Structure 1
């Protein structure tokens, strides 16, 4: 079952169970997927759905930060619920140790020795870790090791 089919099935289940917050999150995700399909005039696969999912989660996490800064805890909690509902579709996240090991392996395999080689290392790691780790943290680890 593809990720899109799973999302559709979960939407139907949420409708039947009258789970309003989960249904709202899934509908927002499906709308973003449909918008991408209409814009590109093509059917998208699981990889593109995963990118859309990551973008939705990132936007919600940014909103949480903004709401907390504005002392709007009620809205921050609503966005956190949205993130929790969407995280169900993400693959299992790697631990910090696993990410650090992958970064060390990529640096040694590319022979990177300075910040000029960061692009090579990120190129290798992006394919391996996309969706499984926060790429911002990965970038920070690479910077720390290369500087």
Structure 2
């Protein structure tokens, strides 16, 4: 079952359990799915939509001077497990030869290709700058 189908099924469960924040988050996600040109989305596309909504919510919260919201907590829970900074450092240390690149930031592409959607680009940038 795809993530998109999981959310449709999860909406019914959340509604029956009266989980207000979760129902709201899933409804927003389903609305975003329907705005896409394709009706059936891949899991990577679903994850990209979730990340976009998280980024937007963080920007709104920062503008309002708040730290978190129920919506943000629910959206982050929908993401698959993210790679930790230590995991990225280990992989970079074992697999990246910085002599092959003009500068450290050029190593972003192979790192992002390896980790895919399980890592945040800003975190990888922070790791590279600290090396």
Pair in the same fold by TM > 0.5: yes
Cα distance, 1:53 vs structure 2: 1.0
Identify the residue that residue 59 of structure 1 maps to in structure 2. Answer: 56
Q: 1:84 to 1:103 in 2, by over 3 A?
A: same
The list of structure 1 runs, each at least 4 consecutive aligned residues, that deviate by more than 3 angstroms after superposition, is: 110-114
1:6 and 1:42 map into 2 onto residues whose CA distance is 15
Structure 1: any 5+ residue segments left out of the alignment? none
Count of residue pairs brought into register by the alignment: 131
The 8 Å contact of residues 21 and 82 in structure 1, kept in 2 or not, is answered as yes
Q: For residues 95 and 51 of structure 2, what CA distance do their matches in structure 1 show?
A: 23
The gaps in structure 2 that reach 5 residues or longer are: none
CA distance in structure 2 between the aligned counterparts of 1:138 and 1:86, rounded to whole angstroms: 21
In the superposition, the TM-score normalised over structure 1's length comes to 0.76
1:87 aligns to what? Answer: 76
The CA RMSD measured in Å over matched residues stands at 2.1
Residue in 2 aligned with 1:33?
33
- TM-score, normalised on structure 2? 0.84
| Preserved CA contact (<8 Å) 1:90 1:131 | no
- Alignment correspondent of 1:48: 45
